[in-house]
Structure 1
Amino acid sequence: DAPGAHKSGYAIRRSEDLNSWEYAPDHRGETVYSTDTGNTEEITALGDYPKNTTTIAPLTPYDKWDGEKWVTDTEAQHRAAVEAAETKRQSLANAAMDSISLIQLKLRAGRKLTQAETTRLNAVLDYIDALNAMDINMAPDINLPEIPLASAS
């Protein structure tokens, strides 16, 4: 017996008992998103969409599926922004401290600093103070202090 006419969005296949033809939803090549994790999955087999998936893409890594749509978990998003801001602040402070390591070595050795070195040291210390004064809980809406120019090291 011959298969039926083509229907858009379906593939024609033999039934399980091989006695007839049946239409199966054909979503092969489509991308769906896990409603549990938001991860992508490509459809490779005939049939309905897998359970716990949607064709709607989440907009952020912090989106959670509410049964009908993605809703951004703004608390998780904010926590991640604060963590990133703290990491950035610490990285900038470490880089600033590294930039004056020679000046620190001179001071520990009891040497006198040049005016340029004193100016540089004070600029970097002011910068670190400004970094530490930042309210990172306002992340991602924070303004980083301007990095002092490296005129002496």
Structure 2
Amino acid sequence: MSGAQRKSLWELLWDYDPNGLIVLDRDMNVQIVNPAFCRMFGVEADAILDQPAEQILDDVDEFRRAWQRDEVVPSRERHYAQHGVYVRKVLFPIHDQQIIACIMVDLTHEQQQREELQRLKRETAKQINEVVDNQMKVAQEIAGLLGETTAETKVSMLRLLQMIEQGTV
């Protein structure tokens, strides 16, 4: 495979990678984004290239730390609420090229499923609590009625015993 073929293969992979890829320069300006990143964040590449990354990512402190410390920032999850996207990202500086690269795996669907599951759990627990409360209320009402009828029976039996003892029966 020739060098040109390898380069076009890498460009093809870049375009088809389902992960969002963004590259910043050391001044935290966007240098490159792939189509997956643009889809995730709802932007056009031309609109953000050479622009401060803070415009799209809000906070680039992690990028700055990765650059200053010359270290890979391992997998971290982040919610970009203004774009409605939840990602797991890895940052790594490439000092000889004067860039910081970031790979973002879109976890939005999984996060939405987790939130829906939590909502269902809360709703189910609430319904179970309501059912138990209703059962307790009914049990108390039944116990009250049984108590009343038992008391009435006792009073009637005591009267009957009194009458038997007095010989009126």
TM-score (norm 2): 0.29
Greater relative CO (CA pairs within 8 A, separation 6+): 2
> TM-score, normalized by length of structure 1?
0.31
Q: Specify which structure has the higher proportion of helix.
A: 2
Whichever of the two has the greater Rg, that structure is: 2
